[in-house]
Amino acid sequence: MLQHLPCRDRVPIDAPLKLHPLPDSTQWSGAIAYLDRDGVLNIGSENYINSPSEVTLLPNAAKSVARLRRFGLRIAVVTNQSPIGRGLWNSENLALIHDQIQKLLLIEDKDAILDLILHSPYTPSQNAWARKPNPGMLEAARQLINHAESTKEWSELSMRFAGEWGERPSESDSVMVGDRISDMTAANAFGVRSLLCPAELGLSAVINDIVPTDIQ
């Protein structure tokens, strides 16, 4: 069994996930947009984002998230958050930061819903499978979203990682967006297309490489 599992805010990793309908009755395409957080959705900092008051969205981040969902993609944020493992602050503080990010996104666009947020609380020295550049968070996101979209009971979910997980769904229409090489390495390990964005612009810089320009 994999040690150092990915984490969700306030609930166990395998807790039931309720997905909001996609905009305009759009059907899920089966594709997921795996998004890093800092430098993709919000302005990052070398000293971390330490409180909700420090959250500032990047330009057009909300519009870009909404465009992805209107195109039929689910949104999974996958973010390394070693301040928890370093003892700088706790997981509830991180959850409050994520609450603020979601709140600000929805203020700008009502369709900018983050379907799932996963984080890795581990330090680099732990070499956790759930910490990018390893692909554990992407693996977890795919299994959770697939199960939420299915008619199966949550008690039937049996999450698998690394070599324990065979018969994987196709990621041919999915994408990973990040501002660091570790994001790209995780995407490559997972087998999903990757797009490196400039940290000062974030997701909006690459959105036209994912979604046709006639979908706004």
Read off the pLDDT band of 215 (50, 70, 90). confident
Q: What is the pTM of this model?
A: 0.97
Asked if the structure places residue 136 within a domain, the reply is: yes
Is 38 catalytic? The answer is: yes
Domain count, the chain: 1
Read off the pLDDT band of 136 (50, 70, 90). very high
The string of pLDDT tens digits covering residues 47-103 is: 999 999 999 999 999 999 999 999 999 999 999 999 999 999 999 999 999 999 999
Structure tokens at 120: 């890795």
Using the predicted structure, report yes or no on whether residue 1 has a pLDDT greater than 90.
no
Asked if the structure places residue 202 within a domain, the reply is: no
Averaged over 133-146, what is the pLDDT?
A: 98
Q: What stretches of the chain show up as alpha helix (H) in DSSP? A: 61-70, 82-85, 91-108, 136-149, 181-190
Do the beta carbons of residue 26 and residue 70 sit within 8 Å?
yes
CATH number of the domain to which 43 belongs = 3.40.50.1000
Asked if the structure places residue 120 within a domain, the reply is: yes
Asked if the structure places residue 65 within a domain, the reply is: yes
What range defines the domain where residue 160 resides?
A: 7-13+24-173+184-191
Asked if the structure places residue 179 within a domain, the reply is: no
Q: Which of 9, 24, 38, 209 is catalytic?
A: 38
Instruction: Work out the angle at residue 132's Cα, subtended by the Cα atoms of residues 193 and 173, and round it to the nearest 5 degrees.
Output: 20
Q: Which of 9, 14, 24, 36 is catalytic?
A: 36
**Strand 193-196 versus strand 175-178 pairing type:** parallel
| Predicted pLDDT of residue 175 | 98
Dist CA 54 CA 34 (whole Å):
23
